[in-house]
Amino acid sequence: MKDKRVLSGMRPTGPLHLGHLHGVLDNWLRLQEQYQCFYFVADWHALTTEYESPKRIPTFSKELLLEWLTVGLNPEKSIIFIQSAIKEHAELYLLFAMFTPVSWLERNPTYKDMIQNLQHKDLATYGFLGYPVLQAADILIYKAHHVPVGVDQLPHLELTREIARRFNFLYQQEVFPLPEPLLSKVAKVPGLDGRKMSKSYGNAIFLTDDEDTIRQKIQTMVTDTQRPRKSDPGDPENRCVAFQLMRLYSSPEELAEIVAECKAARLGCVACKKCLAEKVVSALKPLWERRSQIEAQPHLFEEIIISGNEKARSFARQTLEEAKEVLFGTKWY
Ligand code: TRP
Ligand code: SF4
């Protein structure tokens, strides 16, 4: 039944927050019920921008895997692994590099954006230019049909398709299916200040924050700024950031009541945000419990990763052998 494959990855660059949980992982959890899913830690991709301080990457990778298991990615259903443990990605990347025109890489809008946004880093490297070629290898080595990604990643997906097309055309065999992006509707999670939740904006609630930190952070959350006093009627749906977060944690009935009470100037923001904080805390509690269970069994955690790596490796090896045979026209290599 699960004959279609889904693949996605995340760079290990720091702790996960509610934006990752509702914007990405909730979707991954849904997909693992319907597809054969491959989810991996893109640690080589992290290295393209973090090459000056690479020692942090393994720590972040481990943490990321732990958080994935914490939120419910299930190693019985999905293949969960670490990119750098599967050397086959690197070999396929090398083969792809031979026929990928440099102009395709230079005109990639995500590449230009990132160079712009990360001006404090020297990204005029060969590795960074080749980022999407490595990403194409990640995707194509599992012959993925669908790749859940955000819109920022669409140019990379398009490049992956072009690389697949070029390989199939040059060597006259349909080795690689053309992967489709999966732009599922995902929750937009506002940060404390109303901008998109992001670690670099300092407006995030992390999955590892403790209860009191969460309560404190939510009390600082921006509400309807045109409502300085409780006696002023509010407009939660259009003007309140806290309410946007409330939407993710409340039933339609609860939301209707908040809207009514806020508009009638009967509900104050402090009380409202207290209620929100309790909802967030109770939603995260089961995650914290699962996390401490996993942490209490380090061997089990290790086994999960080893076994995920092995499953991924055996799939990757087959594709790589097939690709090389088609390319060189002999099995000798
Ligand atoms: N570039 C992706 C990001 O920054 C991470 C990534 C690497 C990825 N390889 C991938 C995502 C393959 C999907 C498929 O988010
Ligand atoms: Fe927002 Fe709640 Fe304050 Fe209304 S009462 S403005 S919904 S925080």
The whole-number pLDDT of residue 1 equals: 61
Q: Tokens 């992006």 sit at which residue?
A: 181
Domain ranges of the chain: 5-189+297-328, 209-292
Q: Which two tokens stand for residue 157?
A: 């997906």
Residues in the chain with pLDDT < 70? 1, 333
Greatest alpha-carbon span in the chain: 80
pLDDT tens, 254-276? 999 999 999 999 999 999 999 99
CA of 206 to the centre of ligand 1 (A): 21
CA of 135 to the centre of ligand 1 (A): 6
The whole-number pLDDT of residue 331 equals: 87
The whole-number pLDDT of residue 110 equals: 85
5-189+297-328: CATH class: alpha beta
Ligand 2 site residues, Cβ closer than 6 angstroms: 223-224, 227, 234, 236, 240, 242-243, 258, 262, 267, 269, 272-273
The tally of CA atoms less than 13 A away on the side-chain side of residue 49 is 15
User: Among 204, 185, 186, 208, which residue's Cα sits nearest to residue 194?
Assistant: 204
Atom 14 of ligand 1: nearest residue by CA position? 8
The whole-number pLDDT of residue 333 equals: 63
Atom 8 of ligand 2: nearest residue by CA position? 269
Atom 3 of ligand 2: nearest residue by CA position? 269
Q: Does domain 209-292 have CATH number 1.10.240.10?
A: yes
Long-range contacts made by residues 168-176, C-beta under 8 angstroms, separation at least 24? Answer: 170/99, 171/326, 171/327, 173/326, 175/319, 175/322, 175/323, 175/326, 176/140, 176/143, 176/323
The whole-number pLDDT of residue 158 equals: 96
